[in-house]
Structure 1
Amino acid sequence: MVETHAKKRPGSIAVRFGDTQVTYSALQALVDSTADDLLERTTPGELTAWSVEEPVDALATLLAAARTGRVAGPSDMAGMTLAAADHAPDPQPPFCVLRTAGVTGKPKSVALGESTLTAVLVDVAERLELLPGHRFLAPTPLSPGSAFAGLLLPLVAGAELVLVSPQEAQHLDLVQSRFQRWRPAFALAPPAVWQRLLAAGWAGAPDLAVISSGAPLPEPLARELASCTRAVWNAYGQVETSVWASVGRFSSDENTVSVGPPVAGARLEVLDGALAALPDGESGELYVGGPIVSHGYAGPSGTADAHFVPDPRGKDATARLFRTGDLAHRLPDGTIQVTGRREPVGVPAASGPPAPVSEEAQVIADAWSDLLGILDPPVHANFFELGGHSLAVMRLASRLQQAFGLPVPVADLFENLTIASQVDLVERLYEEQLAELS
């Protein structure tokens, strides 16, 4: 993905992280050495771990895996071997595995293919007019979910990626200073982070294009961002759909925020329970089709997951539709607006971020609000994609242990990254504690 830029612009900065700056030629050299190491100590399809605490090395590992036919993924999967049958959308073996909370809130692993993801990123870069030399700021720490693949976007375009550390991300004044110092042309973050920045007094920048991803973009927030930046882009998708299925620019003349046109290789449909297309304006569930859709979750039961269904309009029998769990309707211009979630836990499906109502859910939501600096976090949102990171997970474990009076293992929180699934976790831990006392 970066070899061409390393040849054309070897001295240009590829990545900045803290006091470290890495040129494209240096990044390519790191990829080369990592690829040699992978070829020596691993076999085709074998998964090698990357660490979110070392983002430059993590990016190099991912790029080296793509070149060598190996797979990069979370550390707890190291040593596993994945093949093409492990559900990357490409016919080739997958090159990376990312974590997702999935539609149900339970953590799952999705294998992605290089050619499909690259095609998506190239299409998005062209829409944004992201060019070599542009600075691209990521004001949230690296996470093992879709945000990680999104950080490849500037590298595909030959732009300069500026990262913040988990420690910096906890201090909004430091994040604001990064905007002031580096004056990025683009910045990518979930809506909650943009809301936190604005609430803290961030004034935007007239030359900045913001990209909102990872959760629905509320119309008032989109409008406020549009008033203080040059452009607001809404990116919609899931790890299961090669990260982004659609990207669209918000217009202040509109009263709604659509998910935008589909990316290359994607098809978005609003369907009823029988997978029949619904007319414009009628609400149904949003499905994503096309070659960007994974064939299932990585693992023995992945293809049997009910959220991947045969695509009646697909090219062949292997084509799948992904049930996003989002309620949506098609607008008169043909684009789609997401209005809520199908069967949310503890709350009715509705437009905007749902507020949890059970006592346990409220306690957990309050902890999230304090740690992430957001109000009313959605019960199905992924902790990492709202701006969380590994250190924040450890702080969350301490908070929940104090609130509920029982041990909350950090490892269990990493396996339950939504409020909904953490409610289930707390209830299970209560039951286990009672069983030990009886």
Structure 2
Amino acid sequence: ANREDLSVFMLDRDWSVISDYPTNTPESILCPSHLAYVIYTSGSTGKPKGVLVSHVSLLNFILSMVDRLEMKGIKSFLSVTTFTFDIFYLELFSPLLLGAKVIVLDSNSIRDGDHFISAIADYSPDFMQATPSTWQMLVDHGWDNREGVTILTGGEALKESLKNRLTTISNRVWNLYGPTETTIWVTAQQLDFLSSVTIGMPVSNTSLYILNDQEHLLPIGVVG
């Protein structure tokens, strides 16, 4: 809309106009199946497509992550993901749902390893989510997690070498996996130094199917 089409209210001037509006809460007609957002992804096709995500799918994801990652009782979550990436919704909605603080780090600090480490030290968050590339940058700049941050990593394949470094500085390292079409993360696995990297088990109300090249279901224990 053009600015000329908008109604502008000045709170310190227009109380007489504002007071004429109703004070009751507007009636909501929102249903679980209604659209929460549309996000575009190319997936493996190279052709962008809009993925429709409902409120019930988003809520199931948030509640599943809160439970699986044992987030209840957290005080703060350091958000370093651009808001155009759907994994940002974990950083935004999960802490707010729990009454915790969302700390949105500025892009300049994220791009500079030393500034990034200083920000983590200043805010001392309980949780932070980032891609393996970002975690690699932090440990390469000497970050040793004195703050005790729970490390969430996803969006790229996690190398064993990086997993070993992260599990050395934290006993709460989670590997997360999921395609956009299935609503952000659909599996989670807590990692340790002695075990290999896996994507873990599915979140609530979610099933995983292992298929062969002909898309036939494979038995348990068979690589697909």
> TM-score normalised to the size of structure 2?
0.79
**1-structure distance, mates of 2:53, 2:218:** 30
Q: Which residue is 1:111 aligned to?
A: 52
User: Residues 100 and 145 of structure 1 are in contact (CA less than 8 Å); yes or no, is this contact kept in structure 2?
Assistant: no
Alignment of 1:291-302 (within 5 A): none
Indicate how the Cα distance of structure 1 residues 105 and 197 shifts in structure 2: closer, same or farther if over 3 A, else same: farther
**2-structure distance, mates of 1:273, 1:259:** 20
Matched, 1:277 2:217: yes
Alignment of 1:181-196 (within 5 A): 181-196=122-137
User: Residues 206 and 228 of structure 1 are in contact (CA less than 8 Å); yes or no, is this contact kept in structure 2?
Assistant: no
- Please give the secondary structure, in 2, of the residue aligned with 1:207: coil
Matched, 1:154 2:95: yes
**2-structure distance, mates of 1:232, 1:114:** 28
1:200 to 132, 141, 166: 141
Letter in 2 for 1:273: D
Letter in 1 for 2:150: A
**1:145 Cα offset (Å):** 2.4
**1-structure distance, mates of 2:167, 2:179:** 24
**1-structure distance, mates of 2:138, 2:171:** 17
Q: Which residue is 1:101 aligned to?
A: 42
**1:197 Cα offset (Å):** 0.8
Letter in 2 for 1:245: V
User: Residues 152 and 175 of structure 2 are in contact (CA less than 8 Å); yes or no, is this contact kept in structure 1?
Assistant: yes
**1:281 Cα offset (Å):** 4.7
Kindly, what percent of the aligned residue pairs are identical?
Answer: 28
1:122 to 59, 63, 79: 63
Q: Which residue is 1:169 aligned to?
A: 110
Count of aligned pairs: 199
Indicate how the Cα distance of structure 1 residues 68 and 194 shifts in structure 2: closer, same or farther if over 3 A, else same: farther
Indicate how the Cα distance of structure 1 residues 133 and 272 shifts in structure 2: closer, same or farther if over 3 A, else same: closer
Q: Which residue is 1:268 aligned to?
A: 208
Q: Which has the higher helix share?
A: 1
Q: Which residue is 1:241 aligned to?
A: 182
User: Residues 139 and 188 of structure 1 are in contact (CA less than 8 Å); yes or no, is this contact kept in structure 2?
Assistant: yes
**1-structure distance, mates of 2:205, 2:127:** 24
**1-structure distance, mates of 2:159, 2:97:** 29
Unmatched 5+ stretches in structure 1: 1-34, 40-66, 70-83, 85-89, 285-438
**1:173 Cα offset (Å):** 1.6
Cα RMSD of the aligned pairs, angstroms, is 2.3
**1-structure distance, mates of 2:74, 2:42:** 34
**1:205 Cα offset (Å):** 2.9
**1:99 Cα offset (Å):** 2.6
**1:179 Cα offset (Å):** 0.8
Unmatched 5+ stretches in structure 2: 1-24
